[in-house]
Amino acid sequence: MRKTLIGVVTSDKRPKTRRVEVERLYRHPKYGKIVKARTVCHVHDEENTSLAGDSVEIAECRPRSALKRWELVRVVNRANEASGQELPAETGG
């Protein structure tokens, strides 16, 4: 069984590679406060389907390079579809 996670693409600058951040919450062992942490995963995206800001599902795979240990399963949400509309252009007024 392969481990799957859902995260947000933070970088799409490299071909066939995406940088995905997976956020998680945990309770601090000593102080009990809920702490937010993130894990950075380098993901193989064969068709370059995901873009920065997209929410994606990734799955564990064999090592593909020095950093890549994950592959893209599907795009859960597109960045511009999540808001339902495009951002208005700024006026320099």
What range does the domain containing 59 cover?
4-80
Pick from 68, 21, 22: nearest CA to 46:
68
d(CA 64, CA 40): 16
Task: Spell out a b/e string for 57-75, using b for 16 or more CB atoms within 10 Å of the CB, else e.
Answer: ebeeeeeeeeebbbbbeeb
Number of domains in the chain: 1
- Write down the mean pLDDT value for the chain: 90
pLDDT mean over 42-67: 96
Q: Is the pLDDT of residue 84 over 70?
A: no
Q: What is the mean pLDDT of residues 3-8?
A: 96
pLDDT at 45 over 90: yes
In a domain, 59, yes or no: yes
Integer Cα distance of 35 and 53 in angstroms? 23
13: pLDDT confidence band, cut at 50, 70 and 90? very high
For residue 87, tell me if it sits in a domain. Answer: no
